[in-house]
Copies of this chain bind each other. A is one copy, B any other.
């Protein structure tokens, strides 16, 4: 019988090897999205398949099972941190082990192929070419759900939700979306009918890319991001990728005529980066060394993007910098006007370009569709018409083609069913968190001064440092000191938009 110390040493070793797989997979993905030439998928696919197979062999092995069992039995002897590592890994182990290795690897190959097909389908507005892949992905997911939850303890879609927000239920989300819909839809109608749209022409003038890069550097500084541990680069779609807490990468995309696009991408991805950079030192290279969940992560990124970045104070603070970098474009712009312009609310086609108010409607539509797919109430072939009908219903918009409709997002091509709701939930989490933060920090003053250090310090103490030490829902309740309710978010939107549009 091995002693507990030796078992923990084996756990360290296992986690170290999982870290290596994580690092290498992330690196292959980063390279594919940044530096790799166009026609290079063959070599990369061979590598991804190998990594997938090896990771399965290393992790979903009898040896791992025995180690986790042995450690679980000695939970009393373990530190709280180590006990959590075992609990957390056990969950991942059970998930992976439930799926046969060949199916696991084949699925990784499938989604990798599907993403290439999706890119082309989106470019060519050709949903039909993508549909067979999506059908296979949905079929795989349905099979995996059966493997993972053979006794049907959860609803099928909830098995997938667990991957992004452990413990999230359909009922919870149904209520959540019903609640925010009650706030958002009337507000959108009021604005569409009675609101006077602000001038925004200055946001759509040519803004030299070099100057936009300078702006990114400035924003990284304002966000207090340590550039020795966080690089920023350029990709088609912005994202954040973390290797470990000392090595985080964010990306942005510069649009010549949309200076605020990259601005808010940097604020958003910068929020994700801050979270990873400030997870606890003692979690480094363990399974707990990352943000607690997708919703919590989005609550941070959307907080920096919107609640901070689109606040009156921050807009006033940043305008002089905009005038310095883009003197011609911003010369006639006065503070309140800038604030109103970056907060314009207008139903639109593309989720990633949606404003803060209508954003959650885009998510609600996706939530309903993917729930329908997983519950076999919607078929893949019907997706375009279902999509277009919901866009008309929720946003009052006609979708001109599938590229700007059902094909716009990458998530489904990557099999990420259950991720979308975390965007909306993140918005609402962030609003409630901010109210709690205000008890300790003068958030408005921080925005007005562009001094975000007190905000980041609060987040490090109450959120970031915990990594995955706690499940997201209890963690949220701990730092907010209350259960979640969408009312903070609804109130925030109502107050903000009533004021801006003088409703």
Q: Which of A215-235 contact B (CB under 8 A)?
A: 227-231, 233
Main secondary structure of the interface of A (DSSP, over half): mixed
Q: Is the CB of A39 within 8 A of B246?
A: yes
Q: Is the CB of B28 within 8 A of A43?
A: no
**Once bound together, how far apart are the Cα atoms of A173 and B37, in whole Å?**
39
Q: Is the CB of B23 within 8 A of A43?
A: yes
Chain B residues contacting A202 (CB-CB under 8 Å) are none
Q: Which of A11-62 contact B (CB under 8 A)?
A: 16-17, 19-20, 23-24, 27-28, 30-31, 34-40, 42-44, 46-47, 50-51
Closest Cβ–Cβ distance, residue A228 to chain B (whole Å): 4
Q: Is the CB of A36 within 8 A of B285?
A: no
Q: Is the CB of A20 within 8 A of B46?
A: yes
Residue in B19, B39, B50, B243 whose CB lies within 8 Å of A228:
B39
- Contacts A35-B34, A35-B231 given; indicate if A24 touches B43 (C-beta within 8 A): no
Chain B residues contacting A43 (CB-CB under 8 Å) are 19, 23, 243-244, 246-247, 285
Chain B residues contacting A249 (CB-CB under 8 Å) are 35, 37
**Once bound together, how far apart are the Cα atoms of A38 and B229, in whole Å?**
7
Closest Cβ–Cβ distance, residue A397 to chain B (whole Å): 37
Closest Cβ–Cβ distance, residue A145 to chain B (whole Å): 31
Chain B residues contacting A248 (CB-CB under 8 Å) are 37
Closest Cβ–Cβ distance, residue A410 to chain B (whole Å): 21
Chain B residues contacting A50 (CB-CB under 8 Å) are 16-17, 20
Chain B residues contacting A36 (CB-CB under 8 Å) are 231, 247
Q: Which of A242-295 contact B (CB under 8 A)?
A: 243-244, 246-249, 285
Number of residues from A at the complex interface, CB < 8 A: 37
Residue in B16, B35, B39, B47 whose CB lies within 8 Å of A30:
B35
Closest Cβ–Cβ distance, residue A178 to chain B (whole Å): 44
Q: Is the CB of A231 within 8 A of B46?
A: no
Q: Which of A269-328 contact B (CB under 8 A)?
A: 285
Q: Is the CB of A247 within 8 A of B40?
A: yes
**Once bound together, how far apart are the Cα atoms of A133 and B202, in whole Å?**
57
Chain B residues contacting A20 (CB-CB under 8 Å) are 46-47, 50-51
Closest Cβ–Cβ distance, residue A447 to chain B (whole Å): 27
**Once bound together, how far apart are the Cα atoms of A35 and B43, in whole Å?**
21
- Contacts A31-B31, A50-B17, A243-B43 given; indicate if A230 touches B37 (C-beta within 8 A): yes
Residue in B24, B27, B39, B228 whose CB lies within 8 Å of A37:
B228
Q: Point out which of A16, A35, A246 has the most chain B C-beta atoms below 10 A from its C-beta.
A: A35
**Once bound together, how far apart are the Cα atoms of A371 and B243, in whole Å?**
41
> What residue in chain B is nearest A50 (Cβ atoms)?
B20
Chain B residues contacting A243 (CB-CB under 8 Å) are 40, 43
Q: Is the CB of A35 within 8 A of B35?
A: yes
Q: Is the CB of A40 within 8 A of B285?
A: no
Per-position binary interface string of chain A over residues 339-358, scored 1 when its CB falls under 8 Å from any chain B CB and 0 otherwise: 00000000000000000000
Chain B residues contacting A285 (CB-CB under 8 Å) are 43, 46
**Once bound together, how far apart are the Cα atoms of A479 and B285, in whole Å?**
52
Q: Is the CB of B37 within 8 A of A229?
A: yes
Q: Is the CB of A246 within 8 A of B42?
A: yes
Chain B residues contacting A24 (CB-CB under 8 Å) are 24, 27-28, 47
Chain B residues contacting A30 (CB-CB under 8 Å) are 31, 35
Q: List 18 A-B contacts (CB under 8 A).
A: A17-B50, A19-B43, A23-B43, A24-B28, A30-B35, A31-B31, A34-B35, A35-B231, A35-B249, A37-B227, A37-B231, A38-B227, A39-B228, A39-B229, A40-B247, A43-B285, A44-B247, A46-B285
* Given A30-B31, A37-B227: 8 more A-B contacts, CB < 8 Å: A17-B50, A24-B27, A35-B231, A35-B249, A37-B229, A39-B246, A40-B246, A40-B247
In the A-B complex, the 8 residue pairs with the closest CB atoms: A40-B247, A39-B228, A43-B244, A20-B50, A37-B231, A38-B228, A23-B47, A43-B243
